[in-house]
Amino acid sequence: MILEFLSFIKKERLFLKEDKILLAVSGGIDSVVMCDLFFKSGFKFGIAHCNFGLRGKESEQDEIFVADMAKKYGVNFHNIKFETEEEAKKQGLSIQMAARKLRYDWFDKIRTEHNYKYISIAHHRDDSIETYFINLLRGTGIAGLRGILPSKNFLVRPLLFTSRDQIVNHCKNNELEYREDSSNLSDKYLRNNLRLNIIPMLKELNPNISETIAQDMNRLREMEEIYFDSIEEKKQSIFRLDDNDNKRIAINELKKLHPIKSYLFEFLSPYNFNIQTIENIINSFEKTSGKLFFSSSHQILKDRDELILSSIKEKLNEESLISENQNNVFSPIPLKITRENFSEKFEIQKSKHIACIDEEKLKFPLLIRKWRNGDYFYPLGMSTKKKLSDFFIDLKLSLKEKEDVYLVESDKKICWIIGYRIDNRFKVTENTKKIFKIESVKI
């Protein structure tokens, strides 16, 4: 088994001999065999164990068992205990999903802090086959039918070459001890139900069902590479990045693609949009602009001729103050502040990202905030006031662009719409003595 293990690592280019790998070890048979193979192959590794506190004494005994394993192999041991049920309630997730998020976030933290190159997970071929069926039952694209990938980002899965039966045999032949998770015997979870009931029934119809599906998944994986090369080529041709790092997608270009639903699903699924939302987006093409669609991490605004894709930012610290002697602002929008005496040689820079204001007309502290309905100002060069909403209409700003507008306010008077126009009441004149210059900065 060691030769197959090494051959698979080399074939899939998972890691190099000199790389230090963090092994995720529960104490179950799969991760115990993974540790044994790493040790006997001479790889450098450390062990990480999560105690989710879900099985009482069993969880505590698992942690002790894995700590003893680390001592036996003479490697570093990293452990943590989570309040999983409490975290699940807090985040509105199932216990399984909360546990998954907690462990992977923590694994990556340990990897970074202790200079591990990769995190190794003990998934094997049967796990991949179960994933295949789970995705098939729930509905999926081609990516869901090729099973678990051997590597993704900093995760590697060097046991995908082998089956559960082979792991059990290796454990027996090498007299390895392991912990049995009692929850694995319950078929109330879909994965366990497949493992304990459905796949054994399929094996009665085809004793080689595991090998057959494994071959199918390998072919699908190769097809996926060809498929996504084509998808990526189309994506690059119709996605464009604007000045605010939003992705803009031309609706007329999307309509030329067939089948449009499949293309749009592949374009947007990396941003966590599901197929139902994709259908709703397509149905909005002939309707009025302004409709918003959300995933767990992103939003899409259906504008006049484009879809505008942007990440959902937490709306924290949307206001801040500028004191009289302050030189920089970092939140909610980065600004650089300088002051200088006015002279005849002074020239106002013609940039929408710079505001030159008569300092004596300001009352500190200044306020930075998002614009609101009902706001008005006196546009530079005008003696009459104008509503910001009308000003934005004149500029033909999209809803997304309007949503991102901040302004600087002095004594409840707008002195600069950041990136657009200063207020005429605060302009520099021949009577100005000191200039207060604010510049919006890209970071």
* pLDDT tens digits, 310-339: 887 644 457 888 988 888 887 788 899 999
Least confident range of 59-63, 255-259, 329-333, 380-384? 329-333
In a domain, 217, yes or no: no
pLDDT digits (tens, 9 = 90+) for 140-164: 777 778 889 999 989 999 999 999 9
Query: Closest by alpha carbon to 120, among 156, 91, 95, 149?
Result: 156
What gap in Å lies between CA 231 and CA 408, rounded to an integer?
43
Q: What integer best gives the mean pLDDT of the chain? A: 90
What gap in Å lies between CA 322 and CA 196, rounded to an integer?
64
pLDDT digits (tens, 9 = 90+) for 339-370: 999 887 788 888 889 999 999 999 989 999 99
* Percent of the chain whose predicted confidence (pLDDT) is above 70: 97
Choosing from 251, 281, 311, the residue where a domain stops is: 311
In a domain, 123, yes or no: yes
Residues 215-236 have a mean pLDDT of 88
Number of domains in the chain: 3
Going by the DSSP 8-state scheme, the letter that residue 16 receives in this structure is -
Strands (E), 222-319: 239-241, 247-250, 291-294, 298-302, 306-311
Amino acid 321: pLDDT: 87
User: What does each C-alpha distance from 336 to 250, 353, 436 come to in angstroms?
Assistant: 35, 11, 11
In a domain, 259, yes or no: yes
| Phi and psi at residue 316, to the nearest 5° | -110, 150
- CATH number of the structural domain spanning residue 71: 3.40.50.620
Do 298 and 382 belong to one domain?
no
In a domain, 218, yes or no: no
Do 183 and 248 belong to one domain?
no
Could you list the residue range(s) of the whole structural domain that residue 161 is in?
2-212
What gap in Å lies between CA 109 and CA 160, rounded to an integer?
25
In a domain, 26, yes or no: yes
Choosing from 212, 234, 258, the residue where a domain stops is: 212
Do 55 and 188 belong to one domain?
yes
Residue 315 is encoded by which pair of tokens?
A: 């709306």
Look at residue 176 and tell me whether its pLDDT is greater than 60.
Answer: yes
Do 93 and 186 belong to one domain?
yes
CA 251 from chain centre, in angstroms, equals 25
Going by the DSSP 8-state scheme, the letter that residue 337 receives in this structure is E
Do 147 and 286 belong to one domain?
no
Do 103 and 204 belong to one domain?
yes
Work out the pLDDT band at 289, boundaries 50, 70, 90: confident
Tell me which range, 91-105, 117-131, 172-186, 225-239, is most confidently predicted by mean pLDDT.
117-131
Look at residue 227 and tell me whether its pLDDT is greater than 60.
Answer: yes
Residues 275-304 have a mean pLDDT of 87
Helix, strand, coil percent values for the chain (each to nearest 5): 45, 20, 35
**Burial class of 395 by CB neighbour count within 10 A (0 to 12, 13 to 18, 19+):** exposed
Residue 124 in 3-state DSSP? strand
Least confident range of 202-211, 232-241, 270-279, 318-327? 318-327
In a domain, 227, yes or no: no
Work out the pLDDT band at 408, boundaries 50, 70, 90: very high
- Asked whether 134 and 190 are in contact (CB, 8 A), the reply is yes
What gap in Å lies between CA 29 and CA 11, rounded to an integer?
25
Amino acid 434: pLDDT: 93
Residue 60 in 3-state DSSP? helix
Do 122 and 36 belong to one domain?
yes
Strands (E), 205-363: 239-241, 247-250, 291-294, 298-302, 306-311, 320-322, 328-329, 335-341, 354-358
Look at residue 181 and tell me whether its pLDDT is greater than 70.
Answer: yes
Do 13 and 150 belong to one domain?
yes
In a domain, 234, yes or no: no
What gap in Å lies between CA 145 and CA 134, rounded to an integer?
9
In a domain, 423, yes or no: yes
Choosing from 192, 212, 232, the residue where a domain stops is: 212
Strands (E), 13-124: 20-24, 44-51, 77-81, 118-120
Do 288 and 162 belong to one domain?
no
